[in-house]
Amino acid sequence: MISPQRILHSDDHLLAVEKLCGELVVAGAERLKSGHKALQSPLPLLDFLLKDIPGLRALHRLDFETSGVVLFARTKKAYEAVRASKFANWKKIYRTLVVGRLPHRAGTISLLLPSRGEGDVPAHTIYRVLEEFANSSYVESEILTGRHHQIRKHFAAIHHPLILDSEYGNKAINHVFSQEFHCHRFFLHAARLELPHPVTGAKLTIESPLPRVFESVLKKLRSVR
């Protein structure tokens, strides 16, 4: 059984769980590349939960490296209602740490990104800067679309990639940051999910606290700025 501390919301139709960095939501081929090593995820989160909750279905996913709120349907009724709504009125809020200081305290990144079977399609990321440090910024982002690696690609496109992102980031800066803070994975956390309950219609807000390592890095950054 999953630790009770990781259960963020539970009712007759839904279950929200805190996903850890380095977990898969469902079985797949996604891996985290760390230097020359590829680290495979342990048992996917859905498979682990199914041991105790038969019939559970994932309503959305987070990337392997991303932590935070993941929502599952306990019932067919809830699952089909969400799919039929096409996630209307869902609001996904993320927290991350990016390279440098952004030119504006808030803004929208609108750039085309590839989508399976559709070619390049519009993608929109709203952001606001929560804190600025000497060479980095703590940022909150809302994705209005759900493209693959959207936040990572969008911030990289405006020359403020996620710190420690080995795929889209700055290798030299990543190396310095890793040496100083002893971290090797980028910080991207699904901090809040807002949606209408698929069965009752009531507004539902589910929040996940920052991982301890993310909090620790922010504390160190605040002490030296």
Q: How far apart are CA 57 and CA 46, in angstroms?
A: 7
The residue-averaged pLDDT of 152-175 equals 97
Res. 225: pLDDT tops 70: no
The residue-averaged pLDDT of 43-66 equals 94
Of 98 and 2, more confident: 98
pLDDT of residue 77: 98
Domain edges within the chain: 4-224
The residue-averaged pLDDT of 110-119 equals 85
Residue 115: band (very low, low, confident or very high) from pLDDT cuts 50, 70, 90: confident
Is 12 considered catalytic here? Answer: no
Q: How far apart are CA 189 and CA 165, in angstroms?
A: 14
CATH, domain range 4-224: 3.30.2350.10
**What b/e readout covers 135-172, taking b as 16+ CB neighbours within 10 angstroms?**
ebbbbbbbbeeebebbbbbbbbebebbbbbbbebbbee
Q: Which of 47, 63, 120, 165 is flagged as catalytic? A: 63
Mean pLDDT of the chain: 92
Res. 67: pLDDT tops 70: yes
pLDDT of residue 50: 95
- 218: number of Cβ within 10 Å: 19
pLDDT of residue 36: 34
Residue 5 carries which DSSP code? G
Q: How far apart are CA 124 and CA 130, in angstroms?
A: 19
